[in-house]
Each structure stands twice: as structure tokens, then as C-alpha cells.
Amino acid sequence: MNRSVPAPLIVAAAALIALSTFAALNDIRPALLFASVIAAAQPLLLAATGELVAEKSGVLNLGVEGMMIVGAIAGFAIAVNTGSPIVGVGAAALAGAALAMIFGILTQVFLTNQVATGLALTLFGLGLAALLGQGYTGQKPPAFPRLDIPFLSDAPVIGPLIFAHDLMVYIALALVALVWAFLTYTRAGLTLRAIGEDHDAAHALGYRVVRMRLLAIAFGGAMAGLGGAYLSLIRVPLWSEGMTAGIGWIALAIVVFGTWRPWRVMLGAYLFGGVTILQLNMQAENITPLWLIVFGLFLFATHYTVADIQRRQRLRRPAVVLWIATLVVAVQAETNPISVSSEYLSMTPYIATIIVLVVISSNRMQTNLQAPASLGRIFQARD
């Protein structure tokens, strides 16, 4: 029986060590740095968790970006007009679910192509949000409540890291746990996974494929709406057109990165949140972007090294090359730093997304084993 520690956990630990080292070398308080990473990861975590459930049912919804931006403006507008951010968050979830149901009806009832419909949903959501948000630019929403536990919230390290976040952080973590438990232990969750693996066989057994998929799509839309509301009400408490800025696409990539497993999706969200915060701190401290490349090379080298160790074989060429490249770039960053425009640094999360997808797709056998077999396929009941 293999009792080795999963590779994603080791890579996450390596990322934690690398971020701590970066903070120590640049006089940044590690607790505040990791608290910023947690905040930056929440929109990704919420949207990716919802998309995970939809894809587990066999539905590929590329409209995450559109649902997020509609959730952002719906939550912002309702919060401003009612004075309650809680009501705004609920409205954002409903708006995301409503937009998702348009996708669901088109793909599951009228049998349209899921990829084309998802892309159309993103374009529709971006346009609708721009129209609805014209009168809200420059306004400030009501403050979202934060968790304040006496003594614990003011503790030196664990206070800002664990006990001083807004309520949505803890709600998001609870939702990840609930999704994992639902998919693993409940009858409905197992039915959903069976539908995602073979919808024809599930239909033959009497399961209502379309109804289950519509519920999964609605849940994914609600989670995307919550992610959008987190952006407009908490992380950047204002409304601006196009404020999601591609986060929905990164959330889609995180589902693949996490191999359709809730806890790995959470690790992926925090990893990409760390990349976002890292490049922002590098801009603020005027640090050479070569260290960001060092960070990425270090994580990939760790990943391949762990994989080789778990296979009980010597280091293969990719691991050796990556470790050498990490050392060479680190020496270059220390001896001959270069400066790069902030616009290029802002591209970092999206470049990281492309690189991660390329690396993951190189191991097609593992990806195909984890992906739902009916993902993206049209279901047509045959009685």
C-alpha cells in the first residue's frame, strides 16, 4: 500500500517555504503576506469549486467569467441600494445561478454545443454587466463584516493569518469541505459523478441526467456569482467595468490543475493567489522579476523531483534541467537584476496559467483518468 505524501501537498509546502523566504529577504511580514494570498485566492476558489461540481456532472461551462462579472455588479448594486453586503452577496449568487441556467437550458434542453454556448455566455455577461454598472462607477459599498475573536484576532502571527479575515473566507473553506463530502459520501454526489462518467448508463439505470446537470450548473453559477461579489464588495470594494480581468478563465484552469478534486483545487487557488500577490509586492518593492521566474522554476523542479522519488527512480532529465535553471536564474537575479514594466508583471498570473496547463497536458494519461469521461458531451435521452 502506497502511503507517500501526495505530490500537490509537497509542492504547496515548497511554495509556502519559498514565499516565507521571499518575505524575510524583503522585510515583508510573512503573516500579512499570507493573509493577502488568502484574500486574493477567494474569488478563484469560489468560482473553481462551482465549476468543479458542474464538470463532475459532465458539463463544460466556459461562461465562468461572464457569471462572475454579473455576480459582481449584481452584488454591488444590491448592497449599495439596500445598505446590506449580506443581501448583496445573496443577490450575486442568484444572478450567477440565473445566468448559468440560460447556459443549462440551451445545452441540456436544446442540445447546443457547450463550448460555443459558454463563450457566448461570457460575452453576454460582460456586456450585461457593463450596461447595468453604468450608474455605479465611483460609489462605495457598505463594509463587509470581519471575524473578530477576542485575543485570537490580535495574536502576533496566527491572528492576521487565521482569525482576522472577512466571513466569506471561512464560508468559502466550508463550501469546499461540503463539496468534497457531498461528492465523496452522499448518494446524490455519487449519482452526479456517475452521470459525469457515463450519462447514457446513468440514464439507463433511471437517473435523471438533465435535472442533475441543471442543478450542478446552477450551483456552479451561484459560486461564480459569489466569487464576483467577493471582488466588488470585499477585495476591491468598488465597481469598474471588466474588473474580473480574466479570473474566470484562471478558475477554469485551476479545475484542471487540481485534477477535478476539491482539496487540490483549493491548493491551486492559493498557489495562483500567491503568484498574484507576489508580483504586486515585486512592483511595490521594485524587485527584479527574475525572482518570480525562480519561484516558478523552483515549484516545477520540486514537482518533478517528488514524482521521481515516488516512482522510486533516479531523477529524470526534466527535474535535473529545472534545478539547474533555477540555480542559474537565481544567480542572474542576484548579480545582474533587470527591471521590467509593471504591465509585464501584471501578465504573470496568466502566463503561469498557460505554463501550468501545458505541463499538465504533457501527462495526458493521468489527466484523462481523472477527467469525467462524459465531459462536454451532449446527452440525448433515448427511451
- 3-state SS, one letter per residue, for 291-320: HHHHHHHHHHHHHHHHHHHHCCCCCCHHHH
**Greatest alpha-carbon span in the chain:** 71
The domain made up of 7-286+339-370 has a fold known as ABC transporter involved in vitamin B12 uptake, BtuC (1.10.3470)
The grid coordinates of residue 9 equal 501537498
Residue 2: its pLDDT value, please? 46
Give the C-alpha separation, 150 to 349, whole Å: 36
Residue 69: its pLDDT value, please? 97
Give the C-alpha separation, 79 to 77, whole Å: 5
Give the C-alpha separation, 41 to 242, whole Å: 18
Residue 92's contacts (CB-CB under 8 Å, 6 or more residues apart) are: 71, 72, 74, 75, 78, 225, 226, 228, 229
Residue 150: its pLDDT value, please? 67
Burial of 232 (0-12, 13-18, 19+ CB in 10 A): buried
For every one of its 383 residues, what pLDDT tens digit does the chain have, with 9 covering 90 and above? 345 556 666 777 777 777 777 766 666 676 777 878 888 899 999 999 999 999 999 999 999 999 999 999 999 999 999 999 999 999 999 999 999 999 999 999 999 999 999 999 999 999 999 999 998 988 999 988 777 776 666 666 676 677 777 889 999 999 999 999 999 999 999 999 999 999 999 999 889 999 999 999 999 999 999 999 999 999 889 999 989 988 999 999 999 888 899 988 998 898 888 888 877 777 766 677 777 778 878 877 887 787 777 776 666 777 788 888 888 888 887 777 666 666 666 777 777 777 777 766 665 555 555 788 888 888 887 65
- Give, to the nearest 10 degrees, the angle between helix 30-56 and helix 262-285: 140
